[in-house]
A and B are shown apart, each in its own frame.
Chain A
Amino acid sequence: MPVSTPVLGIIVLIYLMVIFYLGWLGYKKTKMTEDYMVAGRKIHPYILAVSYGATFISTSAIIGFGGAAGALGMGLLWLAFMNIVVGIFIAFVIFGKSTRRMGLKLNAVTFPELLGKRYQSRFIQGFSGALIGIFMPLYAGIVLIGGARFVEATLNINYDVAVLILTIIVAAYVITGGLIAVMYTDALQGSLMFIGMAFLIVFTYIELGGINAAHTALTAMNGMVPESLAAGGHLGWASMPALGSPIWWTLVSTLVLGVGIGVLAQPQLAVRFMTVKNDKALNRAVLVGGPFILMMTGVAFTVGALSNVYFFDNLGQISVAVAGGNTDLIMPQYINSAMPGIFVVLFMLTLLAAAMSTLSSQFHTMGTAIGHDFYREFIKKGELGQTINVTRISIALTILASVVLAYALPPSIIATATAIFFGLCAAAFLPMYTGALFWKRMTREGAIASLLVGTFASLFWLGFVHAKEAVPLGISQALFGKATLLTGTWTVVDPILVATPLAIITAIVVSLATKPIPVEHLEKCFEREIKN
Chain B
Amino acid sequence: MLGIDDPQIWIAYVLCFLSAIGCIIYGAIKWNDGQDEEAC
Contacts and interface: CB of A to CB of B under 8 A. Distances in A.
A277 B37 CA distance: 9
Given A211-B2, A213-B3, A219-B5, A291 B23 contact: yes
Contact of B26 (A93, A101, A215, A217): A93
Contacts of B37: 101, 278-280, 528
B9 A283 contact: no
A312 interface: no
A177 interface: no
B33 A280 contact: yes
Contacts of B2: 211-212, 215
A431 interface: no
Contacts of A88: 23
A422 interface: no
Contacts of B3: 211-219, 238
Q: Chain A contact residues (Cβ within 8 angstroms of B): what range?
A: 35 or more
B33 A239 contact: no
B5 A239 contact: yes
A104 B23 contact: no
A284 B38 contact: no
Contact of B8 (A75, A216, A289): A75
A81 B35 contact: no
Contacts of A212: 2-3
Contacts of B9: 73-75, 77, 238-240
A80 B16 contact: yes
Interface string B3-22: 11110110011011101111
Contacts of B33: 279-280, 283
Contact of A278 (B13, B31, B38): B38
Contact of B31 (A217, A235, A283): A283
B32 A287 contact: no
Given A211-B2, A215-B2, A85 B31 contact: no
A39 to B, nearest CB: 16
A342 B6 CA distance: 36
Contact of B34 (A84, A85, A283): A283
B20 A84 contact: yes
Contacts of B23: 84, 88-89, 286-287, 289-291
A290 B5 contact: no
A74 to B, nearest CB: 5
Contacts of A218: 3-4
Interface string A295-310: 0001000100000000
A381 to B, nearest CB: 26
Nearest to A216: B3
A215 B4 contact: yes
B11 to A, nearest CB: 9
A18 B34 CA distance: 34
A80 B17 CA distance: 10
B35 A104 contact: no
Contacts of B5: 219, 238-239
A282 interface: yes
Contacts of A287: 23-24, 26-28, 31
A293 interface: yes
A266 B9 CA distance: 28
Given A280-B33, A286-B26, A294 B6 contact: no
A284 B35 CA distance: 11
Q: Which 8 A-B pairs have the closest CB atoms?
A: A290-B23, A287-B27, A279-B34, A215-B3, A216-B3, A283-B30, A294-B20, A77-B12
29 contacts: A73-B9, A75-B8, A77-B12, A77-B13, A81-B16, A81-B19, A84-B16, A104-B39, A105-B40, A211-B3, A214-B3, A215-B3, A219-B5, A236-B6, A239-B6, A240-B8, A278-B34, A278-B35, A279-B34, A280-B34, A282-B34, A283-B33, A287-B24, A288-B27, A294-B16, A294-B19, A294-B20, A527-B39, A528-B39
